[in-house]
Structure 1
Amino acid sequence: MITILNDVKSLGVFVAYDVVYGVDNMKYTPQLEEAINAAVEETRKTLSLETLREHPVIRAYRDFYWKTLKIDPTKQRPAQEALLRRVLRGEPLPRINPVVDAGNAVSIKYVVPIGIYDIAKIRGETLRLRRSRRGEVFRPIGGQPYELDNQIVLASDGQILHVYPYRDSVETKVDETTRDVLVVIAGVPGVEEERLLEAARHLRALLTLLGGAAAGDIRLA
């Protein structure tokens, strides 16, 4: 379960989240490869690097960065924008492992940031979106640990999974041994709930190609 504390909820933050059990994260399927390639092809046909920042959904996340997080989105880009820019420059979508790659494909298709976490590595059962506390340290994937300064985080029992809505923790990252996953799609003001739900449904379908089985309904918080 994910709970959003009132001081964060008042900022218009919301999420769609899903749990999928039993994925095989060691082997790509032809259907998944097809879906990843289709997402890249669609992106290049329908979007352009020159006008990407004016896309209404990208604009919403950029505005949230500037106005709420006080972060320059040209220096720390929203996660999905960074992926889209890479693809629109003609570079391949990053390949990490089947589950992460499925999430990235859905992220560029629906233009939303998607975090995927290994449930076995999460401490506690209740996750909260809250403000970071003085002295809390975040350990990002692909970076050095750093102390947080009043940022929005997804946390459980003192463990920080995610700095909202752009960076995930190495502590709960998905790797080849991962079998059960939590999917969290980050929403901000100006983005429709239905877009997040559609992205979650699409990702659930891709994870079933890897043998995954959904634990219940996709939820909004």
Structure 2
Amino acid sequence: MPVEPTIAPEIFALRPDFAALSIYAEDARNSPSDAHSETLLRDACLALDSAPWAQAHLAAWRETYRAFGAKPQRTPCSVEALRKRAQRDGMLPAINAVVDLYNALSVRYALPVGGEDAALYEGSPRLIRATGDEPFDTVSEGVPKIETAEPGEVVWRDDHGITCRRWNWRQGIRTRITEHSTQMWFVLERLEPMPIDALLEAGEKLVEGLHRLSRSVRTSLLYLNASGRSNRVPETASEP
């Protein structure tokens, strides 16, 4: 059954312009990083500012983090963290073919992109503002650790607990995509002024990359914004 994420109303109260593209992949295949996936990463690092909305989109995410009490200079959104690493090292670390694919697209489109092993989810993913008692599994100095979110923090979670803290800052260990993952869920997260057309284009590139890795993969897309959810993605960038 396809993953159908939900977004709580308080998220749109915080950012009415927020829109997400959810992509579920079934019978997918992954593999170790290879020359192709490393080339995707390298080319993306060379095109950090090719998207004309890049700097403004990053600024919108920093503003959003401050709005729910986070400090983006300490815990930046996922794409800003990737960009900083690319600027510092000139390259991003290769992890596996699927993670390399969506990290490359994240950097190229200046867009937070998350990937999860859907088979390890308990219930459907949902984006909420935390109460402060939700568990989050992570690693600190090489040792497994359970943290809790701060009250009001924006988090992705399932029935078990948090899967990603501070909207898209840090992913948990439990649901990470590995080389053995075959059911995958991706979420691409956009704020103004990034065009909706660009969000959809990034989604198309992700699906193309998944099909390159596995011809048998089946994908389904779900577009979510303040107006609701739709299996029909918008046709123009004019939709809010």
Task: Give 2:120's aligned residue.
Answer: 121
TM-score, normalised to structure 1, is: 0.84
Alpha-carbon distance, 1:172 to partner: 0.6
* Whole-Å separation in 2 of the counterparts to 1:181 and 1:142: 26
* Whole-Å separation in 2 of the counterparts to 1:10 and 1:22: 36
* Whole-Å separation in 1 of the counterparts to 2:41 and 2:192: 28
Task: Give 2:233's aligned residue.
Answer: none
Q: Deviations over 1:90-144 (max 9, x none)?
A: 43211111111111100000001111000110112x3221121242121236673
Comparing 87-96 and 178-187, the one that deviates more: 87-96
Residues 141 and 180 of structure 1: CA distance in aligned 2, closer, same or farther (over 3 Å):
farther
Return the letter of the residue paired with 1:106.
Answer: L
Residues 141 and 178 of structure 1: CA distance in aligned 2, closer, same or farther (over 3 Å):
farther
* Whole-Å separation in 2 of the counterparts to 1:172 and 1:166: 15
Alignment of 1:104-183 (within 5 A): 104-124=103-123, 126-140=124-138, 144-149=145-150, 150-163=152-165, 164-183=167-186
Return the letter of the residue paired with 1:69.
Answer: F
Task: Give 1:61's aligned residue.
Answer: 61
TM-score, normalised to structure 2, is: 0.78
Alpha-carbon distance, 1:218 to partner: 4.4
Q: Is the 8 A contact 1:204 1:214 kept in 2?
A: no
* Whole-Å separation in 1 of the counterparts to 2:132 and 2:224: 29
Structure 1 stretches (4+) deviating beyond 6 angstroms?
none
Greater helix proportion: 1
Aligned partner (choices 199, 214, 220) of residue 216 of structure 1 = 220
Alpha-carbon distance, 1:184 to partner: 0.8
Q: Tell me if 1:9 matches 2:5.
A: no
Residues 179 and 4 of structure 1: CA distance in aligned 2, closer, same or farther (over 3 Å):
same
* Structure 1 unaligned residues grouped into runs of 5+: 48-53
Alpha-carbon distance, 1:185 to partner: 1.4
Q: Deviations over 1:162-206 (max 9, x none)?
A: 221212111111111111210011233544333322222111111
**Aligned-pair identity (%):** 24
If asked which structure has higher relative contact order (CA below 8 Å, sep 6+), I would say 1
